[in-house]
Amino acid sequence: MRRHWWKILCIILLIYTFIAGLLIPLPYETAYVNSNLYETMRNFFFHVPMWFSQLALISVSLYYSIRYLRSPNPVYDIYATEFARTATVLGCLGLVTGSIWANYTWGTWWSNDPKQTGAAIALLIYVAYFVLRNSMPDLDKRARVASVYNIFAYFIYIPMILILPRLTESLHPGGKGSEGNPGLGGSSLDATMRLVFWPGVLGWCLLGTWISTLRLRVRLLEEKKHSA
């Protein structure tokens, strides 16, 4: 039971986020009196934590890729792969929920906003990671090349998502002339919203870790079966 406390915490946090995210009062009268957000702001409690979770998981994947290059243990490569796989799925969910939100607030599913474009490119880079892996039959070479690629992919991802959108005109918070979506500070994220948002971030990070560990157990069992 003690080993699974974080899974129980994950379930509690996500249930809390889903219920509170749909029920808490939103600060219409402060930041969004002239916007089209209104009830669509509730997507903030789901869309943004998915990206936080994705960033956390690719950071874990990066860690294991570095460990593999320092000490070529196949288990490290498996860890790097599965955490990156779950992160990519969460990134796709984040892109879909963001596109739905954009349709309601900006009037179109895709507006070529720098952050939207950056997120799409970053996800394609990680999809290419799996294509690259599957193109190499030699296991050792696959693991080495994939580990190097994973490191470069991570440090391309960060500017595409977190830096470049802040240097250009963007509808997302933080960009020049940004408007339309709540940011992580100021009146757009009041104390009540923080009480839902940050537990949601932790809950999604734990869920991503949970899914990755389940995948890892399957992969390790398969590897053990093949080596037997």
Instruction: Report DSSP letters for 23-57, one per residue.
Output: HS---TTTT-TTSS-GGGGGGHHHHHHHHHHHHHH
Contacts 24+ apart (CB under 8 A), 5-10: 6/206, 6/209, 7/206, 7/210, 9/206, 10/203, 10/206, 10/207, 10/210
Residue 33 confidence class, pLDDT cut points 50, 70, 90 = very low
The confidence score (pLDDT) of residue 206 equals 97
Confidence check: pLDDT of 213 > 80: yes
Provide the 10 A C-beta neighbour count for residue 39.
10
Q: Find the helix or strand (DSSP H, E) in which 8 lies.
A: helix 5-23
Average pLDDT, stretch 110-138?
A: 89
Residue 114 confidence class, pLDDT cut points 50, 70, 90 = confident
Q: Please tell me the number of Cα atoms within 13 Å of 74 on its side-chain side.
A: 11
Confidence check: pLDDT of 147 > 90: yes
pLDDT > 90 fraction of the chain, expressed in percent and rounded: 55
Residue 13 amino acid letter: L
Averaged confidence pLDDT in the chain: 86
Ramachandran category for residue 107: left, alpha or beta (phi over 0 → left; psi -120 to 50 → alpha) = left
Contact 7, 13 (CB under 8 A): no
Instruction: List phi, psi (to 5°) of 25.
Output: -70, 145
Confidence check: pLDDT of 49 > 70: yes
Most confident range (mean pLDDT) of 26-35, 109-118, 147-156 is 147-156
Residue 112 confidence class, pLDDT cut points 50, 70, 90 = confident
Confidence check: pLDDT of 85 > 80: yes
Provide the 10 A C-beta neighbour count for residue 106.
17
Quote the pTM value: 0.88
Confidence check: pLDDT of 20 > 70: yes
The confidence score (pLDDT) of residue 162 equals 79
More confident residue, 41 or 78: 78
More confident residue, 30 or 38: 38
Task: Look at the block and give the residue holding tokens 């409690």.
Answer: 45
Average pLDDT, stretch 25-30?
A: 65
Q: What single string gives the DSSP state of each residue in 43-108?
A: GHHHHHHHHHHHHHHHHHHHHHHHHHHHS--HHHHHHHHHHHHHHHHHHHHHHHHHHHHHHHHTSS
**Three-class SS state of 146:** helix
